Amino acid sequence: KQEVTQIPAALSVPEGENLVLNCSFTDSAIYNLQWFRQDPGKGLTSLLLIQSSQREQTSGRLNASLDKSSGRSTLYIAASQPGDSATYLCAVLHNAGNMLTFGGGTRLMVKP
């Protein structure tokens, strides 16, 4: 059974810092990996999707990497802003099915 873990569970940083969020998964047989953002009381917004054959994806200040063989992904946020404060979730799509398995999320607070 696929298990996804996110570390740290919570993170507080001052504005302007570069930061890294970590995601690990136990079964490397994945089809893709998605990073999502969730604001309090809201649904999930897809940030980046990395196919299993890719090593990284970039969107603006966000960069996500994937090392499938070691079961790890990182989300790098450059020059963090208070508006980046949210919960960040990673999720993997299995080869064998179409359900996403989610990590528990990292709650990020960026202080002005």
Write out the residues near other proteins by the rule CB under 8 A: 4, 31-32, 34, 36, 41-46, 49, 89, 91, 93, 97-105
d(CA 26, CA 51) in angstroms, rounded, equals: 17
Least distance in Å: CB of 3 to other proteins? 11
d(CA 79, CA 70) in angstroms, rounded, equals: 28
Which residue number, 14 or 97, has a Cβ lying nearer to other proteins? 97
Which residue number, 41 or 112, has a Cβ lying nearer to other proteins? 41
**Shortest CA distance to 34 belongs to which of 106, 107, 88?**
88
Which residue number, 10 or 79, has a Cβ lying nearer to other proteins? 10
Which residue number, 16 or 97, has a Cβ lying nearer to other proteins? 97
Least distance in Å: CB of 23 to other proteins? 11
Least distance in Å: CB of 44 to other proteins? 4
